[in-house]
Amino acid sequence: MNRLQNKAVVVTGAASGLGRATALAMAREGAHLAIVDVDDAGLGETKALILAEGARVVALTGDVTRLQTHTRLCDMAVSAFGAVHGLCNVAGVLGPGTLAEVTEAQFDHVMHVNCLAQLLSIRAFAARLRESAGAIVNVASVGAQVGLPLMSVYCASKAAVLGMSRAVAVELAPQVRCNVVCPGGIDTPMAQGLLASVPADERDALLARLTGRQLLPRFATPGEVAQVLVFLVSDESAFLTGAVVSADGGHTAW
């Protein structure tokens, strides 16, 4: 497949989970990759996997809540590839569980990683994306559209991504497209961490609450959701902007 042949695509949160799967899916479609994550070891593993696919890649270990991280990655991508055609904001965190556990500092951290980081990334790459008539894909969550147990702050941060992304689509049109993917549960280290955070005898019940409303009652694989991001970066979605794509197994269908 070569839907992204010689296009340069940025992926945040690429050290594991959906971010890694997205970077690899882009590489298999012929893209060059610029990847970033705070997890240096995981990022190195992702870089090696991308190189094994025969793709070109630059990697930066950094904090996505800092503008300078994104401006540096932009400089690296342009230096290596000459342009930037796609930006996938995948980095995210879950945050605290029950309302009784939430502190102001935790709220700020979740909002910064899940929403502010995306805004800063877009700010850093906007000029280059205008030059290339590129595409932005922001990852939100089914939690932006429905309430999820133990995730009040997470849901708030992902709902903010929806509003921000629509505004970005309006502001950057017609040169740049901006769309959102709202996944349901994905079988990632972050999801497994959530399940592990509750007592063992409560995990099956929590999993049932998370997937029970889905028409396809299971977690997605990271690769399944990554293919949605590939589509939204590719020219196949050239007339799609300001849209929200629900990759949630039918959770929001009823």
Enzyme catalytic residues = 154
In the block, tokens 């540096």 appear at 72
**Complete edge-to-edge strand list for the sheet that includes strand 32-37:** 57-61, 32-37, 8-12, 86-89, 135-139, 177-183, 244-247
| Token duo for residue 193 | 């961490």
Nearest to 7 by CA among 77, 59, 106, 102: 77
- d(CA 121, CA 67) in angstroms, rounded, equals 7
SS3 205: helix
- d(CA 140, CA 31) in angstroms, rounded, equals 23
**57, 127, 143, 155 from 78: Cα distances, Å:** 12, 12, 34, 34
Instruction: Give yes or no for a contact between 92 and 142, defined as CB atoms under 8 angstroms apart.
Output: no
Concatenating the DSSP letter of every residue in 58-112 gives EEEE--TTSHHHHHHHHHHHHHHHS---EEEE--------SGGG--HHHHHHHHI
Instruction: Give yes or no for a contact between 162 and 225, defined as CB atoms under 8 angstroms apart.
Output: no
SS3 179: strand
Q: Where are the beta strands (DSSP E) in 162-249?
A: 177-183, 244-247
